[in-house]
Structure 1
Amino acid sequence: MAIWDGLRPALSTVRVRLTALYSGLFLLTSTIMLTAVNLLLSNRLGHQGEVINRLPDGAEPRPTAGPLPDLVSGGEELDRLSSAVLRYQWTVTGIMIVALTIVSVAAGWWLAGRLLRPLHHITATAHRLSLSNLHERIGLTGPRDELRELGDTFDAMLERLERSVDSQSRFIANAAHELRTPLATQRAAIQIGLEDPIPQHLVEVREKLLTANRRTERLIDSLLVLAQAEHGLDSAEPVALDLLTRQVVQEAVTDDVSISLDLQPITVVGDAVLLNRLLTNLVQNAVRYNRPGGTVQVNLTATGTLSVRNTGPEVPAERIAELFQPFRRLQPRTRTDDGGAGLGLSIVASISQAHQATVTAQPNPDGGLELTVRFPISPPQPAPVGANRR
């Protein structure tokens, strides 16, 4: 029993099962073929014997196409010869089956090992990989079969995983840097400002601490929203996107930037809070990175296409992809700095992905940017939420 328990893992490998399958199929077909040949030979010999036994005494048998020579005469001699031939044939068949068993097992073992060699390479690479060597790839060569496709799929997965880990590392480093700045400001205000406890200095220290605290709070709130959006939607409901957009624009602080609206009624299925944050980030981003006296155009079509276009500094087309990366700012703000951390459009991208929407950006010829979010069209839903009609 202990020996069987020790052999069971070795006998349960794919190579052993493939070898058994190859050998079994080969032996089955070989045995059927040899048995059929022997039975046909036996039937032929019996038929020849019956023909010769029906000949008159002293008559010579006619030449036939059978295996027996026409020199044989007499039923008894033919029966003995037939029995000897059949015994010899069955003996040779048994020896051949034994030999074929050995050959088929050896050939099946070799063939299974050759077929599974790429799989062993994939397994060894997967065991060797860690966060420090995600740049390695399996790199299978040879014909483009199922195992090659499996290796290429693993390589593509490793590439996505490497990008994700690199992005996460950069995100953590940038988040730590953004959090360290207001904390350093607070520490300096406390250490320097409170050395001379004059009421006027205390007021300045309080304002610095409040400003740094608000910046930290906004950053943490943005990080939480980003994490929630990347997690996906826990629940979805009909949202009147046109009403929600109008409400966000009415609540936006625009200073001397004018906002024009062209909204058509449209209902989408999603999270009203996240959609509110998406619209708020788009509008605030268009206002913040604008020029004095500039404009913002917000359009929403009945097919679920939302576009926000603003006037502002020129944006290089080759750097559009950086807009949606966390903590990236392509241009310094031309509006009042409200302590944003550069997470606005990355949050927009994550919320769009959570709603199965696509977001694109393209620079305007005369400066500024146009951001477009295309929501999937959903069937009309009763009682949409998101804002009250005004």
Structure 2
Amino acid sequence: MKLRTRLTAWYAGVFLIAGVALIGLNYWLLAEWTPLAGGVATRAIPAQTPEVASRFSTLEAAQLPADTLVFTADQVKADAMNTVLWQSVIALLVAAVIAVWLGWVVAGRVLAPLHSITTTAHRLEAERLDQRIELDGPPDELKELADTFDGMLDRLASSFDSQKRFVANASHELRTPLAVQRTLIEVALAAPDASDEVRRLGAHLLDTNERSEKLIDGLLVLARSDRGLATREPVWLDEVVEDEAESCAALADEKKVTIEVRTRRYLVDGDPVLLAQLVGNLLRNAVLYNVPGGSVTVELDQELVVTNTGPTVPAQAVPGLFEPFRRLRDRTGTAGSGLGLSIVQSVARAHQGSAKARPNGGGGLVVHVRVPETGVRQAS
């Protein structure tokens, strides 16, 4: 039940309680009232309207006209109380209907600032923190809440700007020395007088350098996706899947793993680079953590589903695979950095989607990624 409905119900309930109490008080006061002593006599006139004659406490009934009606004091009191009660109930019901309508209108006006706060919060994104409520009005609790929310947005905007600058600087500062190291190692290995020991050491250093570059690239992608999307554009996810499958073909041949792709036209609104990272990480993980002669199946229909064969994955260990640097013990010998599924989940969330996994029967993993579809179809 919405807050406006609850406030209206409370307002109407309090009104009804007060109305019932007022009717009860009036009924009690009327019960203490003593009508005319001795009774009342009325006489019918031609218009059929009762006419009050007078008090007849001193007259005998035989002295009254034949068409005179005589009411006792108890009868007058009972009729008055019954009339007052029913008229009060009808008036209360009509007033209750009006009170409900007024309560709905007043609650809407009171909650209007909250709707403004909610609308502003919905428009916010990591790259669009320039929205502010700037609520006008008296310095009440709602004004204080809006000002506090605006202050929080100012601090968040400053924090995100600092993080953006840090990621950009880190990307340059971390990649440059690794590129220099790789060049120096390759030059040393190309020397004609390089010994076998130097070549073995150089090959090991190149492998370490490559793993460091992949780790840094993964961390930068993870940081970028966690910040949200700076821009959005229409992206055919099925084309991204097919391109990434072709890119992983060489790795699959090396690992003796077959890749089968089944897709349909699927348009999303997002970042093509991050979506390519999502699909590429899924496919590389499915190939790397497989067995010789295994298979990888990619299906894109209502969602993206990547299924691979491989070692048995305990169900209780699956949630931890989405955390950075969390891998199963028998996977530590692979070339992965432990960020693949973390990046998948982060990119999916940046696109208002989700990622989950479950063990595959007989070994391996099944990963489900849901990215909202725009609903646009290409003309056939």
Q: TM-score with structure 2 length normalisation?
A: 0.47
